[in-house]
Amino acid sequence: MMLILSIHGGLELPHEDLRAFDFGRIPHDAAAVLVKDGRVVAAIEEERLSRIKHTGKFPLHAMEFCLEQLGVTYSDIDRIVLTAREQECDLIVRDEFFYRDSLHKSTRDYLADVIDKQDGTQIDRKKIQFVEHHICHAASAHLMSGFDRSLTVTLDGESREGYAGYIISAEGDQFTVLDRIPNEHSLGAFYISVIRVLGYHPHDEYKVMGMAPYGDPAKFRRYLKKAYTLLPDGKFSINLAWSTALFEFMTPRKKGGPITQEHKDLAAALQEALETIVMHVLNHYRQATGHTKLCLAGGVAHNCSMNGKILYSGLFDEVFVQPAAHDAGNTLGAALLLSQRLDKDKGTETLRHLYWGTEIGSSDDLNDLLHQWDDLIDYEKVDDVAKSTAKLIADGAVIGWVQGRSEFGPRALGNRSILADPRPAENKNIINEMVKKREGYRPFAPSVLEEYVGDYYEMPDTKAPLSFMNFVLRTKEDKQSLLGAVTHVDGTARVQTVSKETNEKYWSLIDEFRQLTGIPVLLNTSFNNNVEPIVDSEEDAIVSFLTTNIHYLVIGDYIIKKKAISKEQYMHMVPERLIGSELKQSIGYTEDGKKQNIHEIRMHFGNKYSKVIPEAVFQMIEESDGHKPLAELVPEKPEISKDTKEIIRDTFIDLWSLRLIKLKPAK
């Protein structure tokens, strides 16, 4: 048996906050993957366990999760592989000497030390190996595509190794690099440089992709053409600084500001420019290499509108897009490539699903967990959960649906999903209001039974797996008004087909809905609010359910609904600080120059997760021990009035909704 553990992330442990400095390229989307004899047995992003979106901290929780799935320890692992070249990793380890007490001269020393502190395992440093960033991307796509040979293209923001993309001719586990795209001509960085003018930031790219169909690309086409040049032999150049020139032609937007038609027009022109450049590259290498099969990976490969254009172009016979195309997916590539090279006889498997994360508990375990929350919820175990849930959805309910193992990657594919009727167009606004709190222009995706996809969508001649929400397809004209909640303004949809073979429970739910309504489609969006990653555990789902306006929660065979309670009942809940949080007290000034005390709670990963809080709440969090309920922590002072106590209570509820603290039932 060959066990390979692959990890991606930074050096900070979950409790540490060393980022008073900036490497320039701080890791994000930390993850771990465990491969046994060429097969993925566990894969999870650190954010699902730490509950901090896009966290780039050392994936300690993710590593432990992977080991637990097979009941193994670090001493059982044959190889640990990191998703970057060793020299780049060592530079960072040595730089960290200036920010921590301990000294590590190499990544191997650092990793071995962390593992030793975890469980006392003295790991052989020769077991630690490295695979460069874009080779990881390439391997994650090619080795899971099922293709013997392919043109494999990786496109992302930038890497420590100096490149933002590789063009590769792949055959088996051999990758011949045909060209490299340097960081200064990064397509990912180009996209980000323009969306900043639209009030967006890294990780918001998909929002602008959703905005683009509302605009006219002709309005800014000639301006954007000044930012890039198409060169012979599939090459191109980009002037990343050019985006600042847009200030002369339009009114830039700040985050949260109104979105105007010119912003939509710029989004459309940006999307068109991206597609133009990528098709320029692909056209050349299709002809130069003769490859008829294409693999895509890297963060830019999450642009499913671009992917749809590639499909409909007919340039290739088959296309495979790695559904975990971002940096977390590099853990797949590193582990599978090393496995293949160490034991070619084992081979790798064609990707069929991404259900490699946390498994929900048994029926008895679920009952015990739900019982802990029964001051806030009612629940019932039903004989046919698919049939009962389908009827609720058909009657207009919005459902949180939690089944089986959680998905690896950025998209909910039917195991950690919010589901609704795909027909009423107003469902888009309803879901945004009740849970997502996101821009109204952004579309929701349809999950459609694979047997019926051709009845509702225009199928391209190019073959591609459509089960991962990787491609935007054109909705058939006569079905667009019927599927109002999952058809975008341009008549397209980011389709997920559902197979009975790979997810029978989700398939059965959609089929039950089909029998009730005649429509083999459900609206599917990720189960989370706007400040948290997709839910992972059952408790995550319960908390998200209680802090949003979703109508019902379905976990396993249990259907759960909220009780009508007073806010006062929250005072019986127990607050608990998160391991990656800190309390900060500082002196600020009012507008008239007077000093004021400022109390704040914040998460270590970036300034996005912070909140100024009343001093009394600050003190209560400081004194909380994970056992005392809020009612026992409220200061008993004459100046603490009833109104003040209500402010304290409401602040704790707000912090819980923002995932800055935990609130849990008292035992």
Section 365-385 average pLDDT: 96
Contact (CB, 8 A) for 43 and 328: no
The tokens for 43 are 């894969």
Please report the pLDDT score of residue 459 as a whole number.
98
Residue 554: which of 535, 567, 573, 568 has the closest Cα?
A: 535
Q: What pLDDT digit, counting tens, does each position of 148-202 carry?
A: 999 999 999 988 899 999 999 999 999 999 999 999 999 999 999 999 999 999 9
Q: What pLDDT digit, counting tens, does each position of 487-517 carry?
A: 999 999 999 999 999 999 999 999 999 999 9
Question: In the structure, what pLDDT confidence band is assigned to residue 21 with cuts at 50, 70 and 90?
Answer: very low
Tell me 433's DSSP state: I
Contact (CB, 8 A) for 471 and 321: yes
Does the pLDDT value for residue 23 go beyond 50?
no
Tell me 259's DSSP state: P
Please report the pLDDT score of residue 58 as a whole number.
93
Residue 417: which of 559, 561, 550 has the closest Cα?
A: 550
Residue 555: which of 330, 361, 377 has the closest Cα?
A: 361
List the single range of 116-125, 182-191, 303-312, 418-427 with lowest mean pLDDT.
116-125
Please report the beta strands in 9-156, taking only residues with DSSP state E, as ranges in sequence order: 31-36, 39-45, 79-82, 128-130, 149-155
List the single range of 41-45, 254-258, 314-318, 660-664 with lowest mean pLDDT.
254-258
> Please, what is the Cα angle at 442 between 441 and 447, to 5 degrees?
135
Does the pLDDT value for residue 399 go beyond 60?
yes
Percentage of the chain modeled with pLDDT above 70: 97
Distance CA 300, CA 133 (A): 15
Tell me 451's DSSP state: G
Contact (CB, 8 A) for 239 and 227: yes
Residue 181: which of 226, 233, 222 has the closest Cα?
A: 233
Does the pLDDT value for residue 19 go beyond 60?
no
Q: What pLDDT digit, counting tens, does each position of 428-453 carry?
A: 888 988 775 667 788 899 999 999 99
Helices 187-195 & 261-289, crossing angle to 10 degrees? 170
Distance CA 152, CA 132 (A): 15
List the single range of 56-60, 366-370, 565-569, 633-637 with lowest mean pLDDT.
633-637
Say how far residue 436 (Cα) sits from the centre of its chain.
15
Question: In the structure, what pLDDT confidence band is assigned to residue 144 with cuts at 50, 70 and 90?
Answer: very high
List the single range of 180-184, 420-424, 596-600 with lowest mean pLDDT.
596-600
- Report the length, in residues, of the chain: 667
pLDDT, the chain, mean: 93
Distances (CA, A) of 402 to 354, 369, 463, 537, 658: 15, 14, 30, 9, 21
Distances (CA, A) of 408 to 182, 447, 500: 29, 17, 19
pTM summary value:
0.95
Distances (CA, A) of 282 to 7, 175, 273, 294, 320: 31, 17, 14, 9, 14
Identify the residue with better confidence: 30 or 99.
30
What are 321's strand-pairing partners?
Answer: 296
Question: In the structure, what pLDDT confidence band is assigned to residue 606 with cuts at 50, 70 and 90?
Answer: low
Please report the beta strands in 206-322, taking only residues with DSSP state E, as ranges in sequence order: 228-230, 236-238, 293-297, 318-321
Section 1-27 average pLDDT: 74
Section 538-547 average pLDDT: 96
Q: What pLDDT digit, counting tens, does each position of 62-89 carry?
A: 999 999 999 999 999 999 999 999 999 9
Please report the beta strands in 472-533, taking only residues with DSSP state E, as ranges in sequence order: 472-474, 492-494, 496-498, 521-526
Please report the pLDDT score of residue 31 as a whole number.
97
The total of other beta-carbon atoms located within 10 Å of residue 285's CB is: 20
Does the pLDDT value for residue 24 go beyond 50?
no
Please report the pLDDT score of residue 188 as a whole number.
96
Distance CA 571, CA 504 (A): 42
Run of H or E residues at 654 = helix 642-657
Section 471-480 average pLDDT: 98
Helix (H, G, I), strand (E, B) or coil at 532: coil
Section 34-38 average pLDDT: 96
Contact (CB, 8 A) for 194 and 207: no
Question: In the structure, what pLDDT confidence band is assigned to residue 607 with cuts at 50, 70 and 90?
Answer: low
Rounded to whole angstroms, the maximal C-alpha distance in the chain is 82
Please report the pLDDT score of residue 26 as a whole number.
63
List the single range of 187-191, 221-225, 341-345 with lowest mean pLDDT.
341-345
Section 22-44 average pLDDT: 84
Section 319-340 average pLDDT: 97
Please report the pLDDT score of residue 605 as a whole number.
64
> What Rg, from alpha-carbon coordinates, does the chain have?
25
Does the pLDDT value for residue 264 go beyond 70?
yes
Phi then psi for residue 118, to 5 deg, are -75, -50
Question: In the structure, what pLDDT confidence band is assigned to residue 637 with cuts at 50, 70 and 90?
Answer: low
